[in-house]
Amino acid sequence: MIDTLPPLREVISAHDLQPKKALGQNFLLDLNLTAKIARQAGDLSGCDVLEIGPGPGGLTRGLLSEGARKVLAVEKDPRCIAALEQISDAYPGQLTIINADALELDVSAHLTPPIKVVANLPYNVGTELLVRWLTPKIWPPYWDSLTLMFQKEVAMRIVAKPGSKAYGRLAILAGWRSDARLVMNLPPEAFSPPPKVHSAVVHLKRLQAPRFEADAKVLSHVVATAFNQRRKMLRSSLKCISPDIETILISAGIKPTERAERISLEGFCALAREISRNK
Ligand code: SAM
């Protein structure tokens, strides 16, 4: 038992939290498991934790029982708020709940460094937030690490190596500014209701400085464009970026006939710098 609050099944039925598909609600019910996920974020004492999508609060309770100084929980579904307030009562002054869409909210003002982000989110929201966390203009960002649950296939894309099938935008952005590792696998049965796919937790520790210089916006755009048509030669997939793309590719040390999956992070950063120079 990690705390004296009621089991999650009771919380869900007491607050009538029928899972909603549209919000990607697959809840974790085993508090030993949520505490284990919380531990993947490292030592939480002395840290503020941003949790996106707490739902009925399984992971929130894991984070607090593992010693987080403070948790800021951002949940879109208003039905979950009363359940989360019970957790707040059990940990006075340590849990702040915001009922909002995480894609619309600037959270940095509510947090004090050091800050860790921990979340179990629906796939599309998780990927969008991950890209935003990795591509602010100024680096280092407000957070020290991200510990995020994804469907396994997405987790593999984040930690993929060049040349592999999973290599693409997510691997490049993650590798550019962080050390990313897959730290835990979870079967569908860990969730209620069980999703169709396996899940995995990825831990990203931010680097103090990006591995190679590049403008975040330009890099993100060029990589997304190149992998959008990953089978095509770069001179053709990147034509929409500049009419001089062949010359730019050559100046960046990349053969225009090469395909995106064969280009290293260093190569893409060189290309982003050349594109910025030619703007
Ligand atoms: N963290 C809980 C757990 O592990 O059991 C719930 C995980 S469930 C996969 C995802 C949660 O994210 C749901 O509670 C859902 O309502 C919430 N959510 C979905 N989209 C969101 C958004 N844009 N902003 C904030 N929360 C969101």
Q: Tell me: the pLDDT tens digits for 47-91?
A: 999 999 999 999 999 999 999 999 999 999 999 999 999 999 999
pLDDT at 175 exceeding the cut of 90: yes
Residues with Cβ < 8 Å from 189, sequence gap 6 or more? none
247 plus 202 within the same structural domain: no
pLDDT classification of 270: cutoffs 50, 70, 90: very high
Regarding whether 17 and 139 lie in a shared domain, the answer is: yes
Average pLDDT over residues 204-212: 98
Arithmetic mean of pLDDT over the chain: 97
- Residue 110 corresponds to which tokens in the numbers above? 């509510």
- Which ligand 1 atom sits closest to the C-alpha of 103? 23
CB-based contact 50:143 (threshold 8 Å): yes
Let me know whether 55 and 168 are in one domain: yes
Return the ligand 1 atom nearest residue 60 CA: 1
Q: Is the pLDDT of residue 108 over 90?
A: no
Distance CA(217)–CA(272), nearest Å, equals 9
Residue 259: what are its φ and ψ, rounded to 5°? -105, 155
Work out which ligand 1 atom sits closest to the CA atom of 28: 5
Residues 197 and 240 in one domain: no
Ligand 1 mean position to 4 CA, how many Å?
23
- Looking at the fold, whether 142 and 196 belong to one and the same domain comes out as yes
Query: If you average pLDDT over residues 227-246, what whole number do you get?
Result: 96
Main-chain dihedrals φ then ψ at residue 84, nearest 5 degrees: -70, -30
Helix (H, G, I), strand (E, B) or coil at 38: helix
pLDDT given at position 43: 98
Give the residue-averaged pLDDT of 32-52: 98
Inside any domain, residue 74: yes
Coil, strand, or helix at residue 182? strand
User: What does the pLDDT read at residue 279?
Assistant: 82
Q: Are 182 and 157 in contact (CB under 8 A)?
A: no
CATH number at residue 74: 3.40.50.150
Record the tokens describing residue 87, joined without a space. Answer: 């957790």
Which domain, by its residues, includes 58? 2-206
Same domain, 192 and 226: no
* Local confidence band at 123 (pLDDT 50, 70, 90 cut-offs): confident
Atom of ligand 1 nearest to the CA of 37: 4
**What is the C-alpha separation between 64 and 10, in angstroms, rounded?**
19
Q: Is residue 138 part of a domain?
A: yes
Residue 183 sits in the same domain as residue 263: no
Mean pLDDT, range 209-230, rounded to an integer? 97
- CA 119, CA 73: separation in Å to the nearest integer? 9
Phi, psi of 5 (to 5 degrees): -75, 160
Give the integer Cα–Cα distance in Å for 94 and 48. 9
pLDDT for 163 equals 85
Q: Is the CB of residue 145 less than 8 Å from the CB of residue 206?
A: yes
| Alpha-carbon Rg for the chain in angstroms | 20
* Mean pLDDT, residues 179-192 taken together: 98
How many whole angstroms from 242 Cα to the centroid of ligand 1? 40
Asked whether the predicted pLDDT for residue 9 surpasses 90, the reply is yes
How far is it, in rounded angstroms, from Cα 88 to Cα 260? 48
Name residue 113's amino acid: P
Decide: 51 and 62 in contact? Cβ < 8 Å.
no
The reported pLDDT for the residue numbered 124 is 85
Question: Could you tell me the pLDDT band of residue 109, with boundaries at 50, 70 and 90?
Answer: confident
Q: What number is the average pLDDT over the span 191-197?
A: 97
| Number of structural domains in the chain | 2
189 Cα to the center of ligand 1, angstroms: 18
In ligand 1, which atom is closest to the CA atom of 34?
4
Residues with CB under 6 A from ligand 1: 23-28, 52-55, 58-59, 74-77, 80, 101-103, 120-122, 125
| Residue 21 domain flag | yes
> Residue 150 — φ and ψ, nearest 5°?
-135, 165
Please tell me the distance between residue 180's alpha carbon and the centre of ligand 1 in angstroms: 22
pLDDT of residue 263: 97
SS3 content of the chain, % helix, strand, coil (to 5): 40, 20, 40
Q: Region 193-205: what's the mean pLDDT?
A: 97
Q: pTM for the whole thing?
A: 0.97
Cα(135) to ligand 1 centroid in Å equals 22
Burial (Cβ within 10 Å: 0-12, 13-18, ≥19) of residue 170: buried
Produce one character per residue of 214-235: b if its CB has 16 or more CB atoms within 10 Å, e if not.
Answer: bbbebbbbbbebbbeeeeeebb
DSSP label of 232: S
pLDDT at 251 over 90: yes
Asked whether the predicted pLDDT for residue 1 surpasses 90, the reply is no
